[in-house]
Amino acid sequence: MDDIDKKIVKELQNNARASLKNIAETAYLSSPAVSARIEKLEREKIITGYHAAVDSRKLGYHITAFVSLDVSSADKIRFYEDMESIPNVLECNCVTGEYSMLVKVAFPSTMELDLFIGQLQKYGKTSTQIVFSTPVGPRDMDVMAEIGEKE
């Protein structure tokens, strides 16, 4: 993971559909070289995938929320399977603090969100924060930053 790799990753973060030729130009490299480096980054699982970002509102998901809830260790495996199976769950994090889980979800309306939260009650008490707006991000991590002790 040298500076050239970082430049390539940054380019792919900005535009995952960029052509090898274009990436090669910005990285001052030939396209076969870029191709080989990208394959290596994928093999090493530094790059884990390429995703189109979509406007959730325009897809009908008007409500985004973070649901905190307390899940006992015994229930966690079942809970994870549950979260995995519900497509509205965008992210499910195990966290420190009063609530053990923090789940990001998207629903068409508060009605569906309410139904979802109802389903969660069996696992423990919940606390929900509905998103008004997202002034920053979601955005990609800074690859170029100087960080000591990688991996």
Partner DNA sequence: TATTTTTTTATCGATGTCGTCCATTATTTC
Partner DNA sequence: GAAATAATGGACGACATCGATAAAAAAATA
Sorted by sequence, the CB contacts under 8 Å of residue 113 that are 6+ apart come out as 63, 65, 105, 107, 128, 130
CA distance 99 to 120: 13
Is there a contact between 102 and 71 (Cβ–Cβ < 8 Å)?
Answer: no
* Residue 102: other Cβ atoms inside 10 A: 18
7 closest CA partner among 50, 19, 29, 44: 29
Is 39 a binding residue for a copy of itself by CB under 8 A? The answer is no
Interacting residue with a copy of itself among 24, 27, 47, 63 (CB under 8 A) = 47
Is there a contact between 105 and 64 (Cβ–Cβ < 8 Å)?
Answer: yes
Is 97 a binding residue for a copy of itself by CB under 8 A? The answer is yes
Q: How many CA atoms lie within 13 A of 98 on its CB side?
A: 5
Interacting residue with DNA among 7, 11, 37, 102 (CB under 7 A) = 37
Residues of this chain, 40-79, that bind DNA according to CB under 7 A: 40
Interacting residue with DNA among 1, 6, 26, 33 (CB under 7 A) = 33
43 closest CA partner among 5, 92, 77: 5
Counting residues that bind a copy of itself (by CB under 8 A) gives: 70
Candidates 23-31, 78-86, 89-97, 127-135; binding stretch for DNA (CB under 7 A): 23-31
Interacting residue with a copy of itself among 102, 113, 120, 123 (CB under 8 A) = 102
Interacting residue with DNA among 35, 56, 110, 128 (CB under 7 A) = 35
20 binds, among DNA, a copy of itself, none (CB under 5 to 8 A by kind): DNA
Residues of this chain, 54-73, that bind a copy of itself according to CB under 8 A: 54-61, 64, 66
Residues that bind DNA (CB under 7 A): 4, 19-21, 28-33, 35-37, 40
